[in-house]
Amino acid sequence: MEIRENAKYIVAAVAVVGASIGAVIYISQRKPEAPPAPAPVAAPKPLPPEEPAVKYPVEAAPAAEPLPKLDESDAPMLSALAGLIGKVPAEKFVVPEGLVRKIVVTVDNLPNTKVAERLRPLKPVTGTFAASGPEDALTLDPANYDRYKPLVDLVRSLDDAQLMAVYTRYYPLFQDAYENLGHPPQYFNDRLVEVIDHLLATPDVDAPIKLAQPNVMYEFADPKLEALSAGQKVLIRMGSANAAVIKDKLKTLRAKLVAQKPAG
């Protein structure tokens, strides 16, 4: 130190002691220095979401012509359905605008409590909802089941092989529409099988089915039935005989959907 270096040797010891005491006093009066801040650690980059495994892949159907774009698919899709069920039934039952998107949205929403009417790919069944009995003991009128019979008969008559041919031909459009709902990277065919399983789990309800009318709309008097999904309620409203036909077709379709194998 400067004092020690310039002091005479005779007072060196005193100088060293004095400098040491001064250093102790100086250090004791200083505010303790904050420890150095730790070096920032870079946050690890989030890993991209892992794509779930596809349970039931759909084999791409060979075609002479390329698929149309999703927004331009109404006419060819309607034509394909007309070839499957006939031109007159297609005009009678099918909503031709936004067809692929509406099919996908409806399938996805069937397990929910409601399906928006404007998003359904099929036109409403004709006639009005039928209830019978006094106001304090309303039941679902069996006449209501007849409203669904033309559509059920159409489903019964569907050729399974032709139906699957249309489905696999247009599957990329179904997948595209499904991803546009905000579901990527989920697989629409897997969702379809899941929804079919949900519909097949619809309970069989013996007639008469009791109703309630708390406001303008009818509802099931049994809270358990009223809590069912929109798809399951439709199966109950159409009657057990009609529902059995639909379930049989769904079982057949499911078996074919899960039997698909990836191309190559």
Same domain, 179 and 112: yes
At 71-105, the pLDDT tens digits run: 999 999 999 999 999 999 999 999 999 999 999 99
User: pTM for this one?
Assistant: 0.78
17 part of a folded domain: yes
Same domain for 15 and 86: no
Question: Are residues 206 and 93 part of one domain?
Answer: yes
List pLDDT tens digits, range 195-251. 999 999 999 999 899 999 888 889 999 999 999 999 999 999 999 999 999 999 999
C-alpha distance from residue 197 to each of 57, 74, 102, 105, 179 (Å): 17, 28, 20, 17, 21
Q: The dihedral of CA 191, 196, 201, 203: what is its sign?
A: positive
| 178, part of any domain | yes
Q: Is residue 200 located within the same domain as residue 85?
A: yes
Higher pLDDT, 155 or 23: 155
> Is residue 36 assigned to a domain?
no
Mean pLDDT in residue range 180-204: 95
Residue 203 maps to a domain? yes
Backbone angles phi, psi at 211, to 5 degrees: -120, 165
Picking from 249, 241, 151, 167, the residue whose alpha carbon sits closest to that of residue 200 is 249
Number of domains in the chain: 2
Exposure b/e, 126-146, CB count within 10 A at least 16 = b:
eeeeebeeeeeebebbeebbb
Is 75 found in the same domain as 178?
yes
Q: How far apart are CA 163 and CA 253, in angstroms?
A: 9
pLDDT at 22: 36
Residue 174: inside a domain: yes
Do residue 143 and residue 229 come from a single domain?
Answer: yes
Q: Return the beta strands (E) in 130-234 as ranges.
A: 131-132, 139-140, 211-212, 219-220
Looking at the fold, whether 130 and 78 belong to one and the same domain comes out as yes
Residue 220 DSSP one-character state? E
User: What is the mean predicted confidence (pLDDT) over 145-173?
Assistant: 96
In a domain, 33, yes or no: no
Q: What percent of the chain has pLDDT over 90?
A: 66
Same-domain pairing of 123 and 201: yes
248 and 184 part of one domain? yes
Quote the domain boundaries for residue 14.
1-26
> 22 with 85, same domain?
no
Residue 104 lies in a domain: yes
Residue with tokens 């769904």: 250
In a domain, 191, yes or no: yes
> How confident is the model at residue 263, as a pLDDT?
45
In this structure, are 19 and 81 located in the same domain? no
Do 75 and 22 share a structural domain?
A: no
